[in-house]
Every structure is written in C-alpha cells, then in structure tokens.
Structure 1
Amino acid sequence: MSKPAIVTADPWQRLQALTRARIALGRSGASLPTREVLRFGTAHAQARDAVHQALDVAALQADLENAGFASLAVHSQAADRSVYLRRPDWGRSLAPESTRLLREDAPTLWAPRPRLALVLADGLSSLATDSHGLHMLQALLPYFPDLRSQPVIVASQARVALGDEIGHLLGAEQVVMMIGERPGLSSPDSLGLYLTAGPRPGLTDAQRNCISNVRPEGLGYQDAARKLAFLIAGALKLGRTGVDLKDDSDTAAPLPAPSGLHSSLARL
C-alpha cells in the first residue's frame, strides 16, 4: 500500500500560470507546505528591505549623466527613512536647502518654464526607482526626442505630492513623478508614474493620473511609455489632468508617429 502524499495538491494549481498571486499552494495536513512558508518569509523580507533601503542618489545621477540626462538631487523635509515613514506629511514638502537649489541652480541647467519636469523619487521602494527609472526615461525618448533637455530631479524621502512643489518651482507645465510604490509580497520593485498638469502645492490625487506596476513582470517599459505619452498629449489638449483625463490608450487610435507627436508638442 502506497503512503499518502505529504503535500496535498490544490485542484486550482493550473491557475498559477496566470498570476503571480499566491493561490493553489497546496497543504500539508492543516498547514501550508514548508516550501510555501519559506517562500512567504523570503517575499516578506524583500518587501521590508525595499521599504527601508536608501536610494543611491550618486549612482543614479551617474547613470543619468552617462545616458545624457542632466539632473539635480533634492530632499524632502524628512531627514531620514525613520522620519519619512512616521511623518508622511514631511515627505510632501521640500527641505529649505532643496528649495534654494531649484531656484538658484535649475535655471543654469535648463530653460525656464519647461514643458515637462521629470522626477525620479525613492518613495516606498528605492529598488523600483533604481531598477526602472532610467529605463522609463529611455522608453519615452522615441515619443519625445528632446526629452534630455527637460529637467530631471532625483528626490529622496519623497511622497507623490513632492512632485507638485518641484514642478511649481521649475515653472513646468507638467510634471511626471516616477516613484517607488508600496511593495507587495510578489512585487518589491513596482514603479508608479504620476502625471500632473499645472503642478503646485496643495493639489490632490484627483488632479493627477497614475500608471501603476511598471516593471518587466508587470506593465512593461514600452507599454508604460505609450500610456504616458498618450496622457501627456491628452493633458495638453484638455488643459488639465486627473479625473477628467481618461486613459483610453488601449482603445483609442494609435499615437502619431514620434516625429508627429514631437511636432504637436512644439517645445518638448
């Protein structure tokens, strides 16, 4: 007589191929199999590490420079990671020295009133920003060939709304905040893209558009760039972002060829 299996398989196991969610894990008696307990512990540790890991600003700026992007580094009012996690409000405002930096140094690097300001921010996962930020900028280049002439700001201890103050100080017509999202147990490196027209302090999330889960295992760079370019063009026509600007990029007519889109965004 054969011995019963130590692990009882789940009849839904074939669905695992369709999602990274933890489904159909099987069981051992009344508990999860040991391998799944260990996998969960590893994923939880990776998520915690992503939250607490500091962004290597110098390395990111060096990579940006090598790719032809000039950048400035700024910091929120949260002095360190511990303060950042306990005081979300401080992550939404610039430190005084960063405000001075943008006022004094930005005009020497970029033309006044740029069409688009780009912010690479650590958020709740510096791993996401470090892994995907530059790739996203490069994916946008076919749509905006002059993207390297626009301001790129690297922001530490940042929340989404920090981009509003940065864009306002730069006089930008639109700001794109590329920020590490809250890690999940299957996605410690998910990048979020937040587009805001007319950035200024005091805006709410209802006045911006979000593209979420940007990473090779989620929404790929090329698809994210296409959606973002569609929203940027839509915001120019509509004059605003947020709840009135819909992402119909998957059902609308294809975007114009890059040169055509570039012409329609004359100053970008």
Structure 2
Amino acid sequence: MKTPAPSRALDALRELTPARVGLGRAGASMPTDALLAFTLDHARARDAVHTAFDAPHLVAKLAGLGLQVGEVSSQAQSRRDYLRRPDLGRMLDADSRRALEKQGGSASEIAIVIGDGLSPAAVNVHAVELVRHLAPRLTEAGISLGHVVVASGARVALGDEIGAVLGARMVVMLIGERPGLSAPDSLGAYITFAPRIGLTDEKRNCVSNIHGAGLSYDEAAFKIAWLVREGIARGITGVALKDESGTALIPHKPID
C-alpha cells in the first residue's frame, strides 16, 4: 500500500521540531523509513548510556582553561552497578572523600562538578565548552569560582556531598541527561545553594537540553550565571527561585 503524501502543514511542523509527527503508515504499521529511523535513534540512545567517560581528557582540557581540577568517583564501581544501584552514584567512595577533605577549609562561593550521568557522551562533547563560556560570566558577575571536580559514576545528588565537603556556598552540577530518541547527547546543569547530603530535587534549579540542536553554550551559560548570582544573593535555589533570566542582563563579551 502506498503511503499518502504528507500535508504542507505537517511538512512545516517537522521543520520546527525533531519530534516524530505525521509519520504516516503502511497498512497497520509505520512506513519502513520511519521504523528504521526509530531503530537507529534508539540504538544511539543506548550507546550514549554506555559510552566510556573520558575523565582524564576532561581534566586536561579544564586545566587548559586555567582551572584547578580534581577527580573523584562515586561508590558505583562499574557501569553495571551505576545503572542498577542509583544510590551508589549519590555517594563518594572513601578515597575520594578523603582527598576532597584535604582540599576543604578554604570555602568558596561556587564549586563546579562535572559528572558522567546517564549520557557520558553528552559530557565528553559539551562540558568543557560550557565551562569555557560560563567561567567569564561568573567572573563578571563578581562570583569567585573555586573548585572544579570531575566525578565518575555520578548522579545529581553526588554534587551535594562534594559541595558540602569543600565548603562551597553553591554547587553547579553539569551532568549527562537521560538520552532521548531525538537527543542522545543532552547536558543538564543543576544549581543548588548550601549543598548538603540529603537534599531533594525541589531545592535545585535545572537548566537542561544543552546540545547542538537545543540550548546553545552561551544561552545556557547566561541562564546558569543568572541563577547562581541570584541564588547566592537571595540564599535560595529550587522552587523558591524562579528563572527570570529572560528579563535580566549580565554584561558579557562574546567568546570567539
């Protein structure tokens, strides 16, 4: 059976979104092209979850930006443990905690934690460039950037323990988001004031969908810097802090 030609309205809609709309049908099934595209995107999403996290490369690149970078691990000793035991990804292993405790004592306003999350592929590709755009915005907003930590086997809440051990007033957790069929390499940023073990997600602000077809590095850096600045000034993050960055402006010179 021949698949009917799509309408002009559906063609226009497809230009605005990567979502699967108006796929058509062949009898009682999807057209072969749509089915193959779905299968390919599903495979890419699965691959993103299991991509190796290139922590040494990230550490070297971040150090190249003039940042002091440390490396830690959660209690998830393998990717298998990480996926089956989310709780292990929320706690530092003993060696990592001891190493961070030695760095603590000189409290800083903000710590940046970069974790693999559910899409190491996203972090490998986007994290360094986002930090490159974010760091000067924080400096221009008068915020001192303290520690930068690369964390393997990380869930979002691991940033709470890291921030608490380091004595940071705020932690920004950059982490790979759960891969979708249209965005297997999406990066998210979670901003938390007064990090400590046991916090829940209503205490955080999130800037998500940072990838090539989503939020750009500069747009994301602007939103994150605004939330950091306002969060520190008001002493809050999460549901009590609404993202009003669209009505604000942090002076900034564009990065070439």
The alignment's TM-score, normalised by the length of structure 1, stands at 0.88
Matched residues in 2 for 1:6 and 1:258: separation?
A: 55
The counterpart of 1:196, out of the listed 172, 192, 197, is 192
Residues 38-69 of structure 1 deviation map (CA, whole Å, 9 limit, x = unaligned) = 11111001100111122011111121122222
Conserved in 2, the CA contact under 8 Å of 1:44 and 1:185? yes
Matched residues in 2 for 1:54 and 1:101: separation?
A: 24
Residues 18-40 of structure 1 deviation map (CA, whole Å, 9 limit, x = unaligned) = 10101122222332221111111
1:253 lines up with 2:248 in the alignment: yes
SS at match of 2:106: coil
1:130 lines up with 2:128 in the alignment: no
Conserved in 2, the CA contact under 8 Å of 1:77 and 1:95? yes
Q: How large is the RMSD of aligned CA atoms in angstroms?
A: 1.8
Conserved in 2, the CA contact under 8 Å of 1:68 and 1:148? no
Matched residues in 1 for 2:136 and 2:66: separation?
A: 15
Residues 209-266 of structure 1 deviation map (CA, whole Å, 9 limit, x = unaligned) = 111111121111111111111111111221111111010111x2323x259xxxxxxx
SS at match of 1:254: coil
Gaps of at least 5 residues in structure 1 are 260-268
SS at match of 1:150: strand
The counterpart of 1:53, out of the listed 51, 56, 73, is 51
Query: Structure 1 229/149 Cα, relative in aligned 2: closer, same or farther at 3 Å?
Result: closer
Residues 78-121 of structure 1 deviation map (CA, whole Å, 9 limit, x = unaligned) = 111001111101110001111011112x35xxx81011100010
The alignment's TM-score, normalised by the length of structure 2, stands at 0.92
- In the TM superposition, 1:39-118 aligns within 5 A as 39-104=37-102, 106=103, 112-118=106-112
After TM superposition, give the deviation of residue 10 of structure 1 in Å: 2.9
After TM superposition, give the deviation of residue 150 of structure 1 in Å: 2.0
After TM superposition, give the deviation of residue 74 of structure 1 in Å: 0.6
Conserved in 2, the CA contact under 8 Å of 1:43 and 1:186? yes
Conserved in 1, the CA contact under 8 Å of 2:176 and 2:187? yes
Question: How high is the sequence identity, in percent, across the aligned residues?
Answer: 48
SS at match of 2:196: coil
- Residue aligning to 2:21: 23
SS at match of 2:15: helix
SS at match of 1:117: strand
- Residue aligning to 1:265: none
- Residue aligning to 2:161: 165
- Residue aligning to 2:234: 238
Task: Report the structure number with the largest CA radius of gyration.
Answer: 1
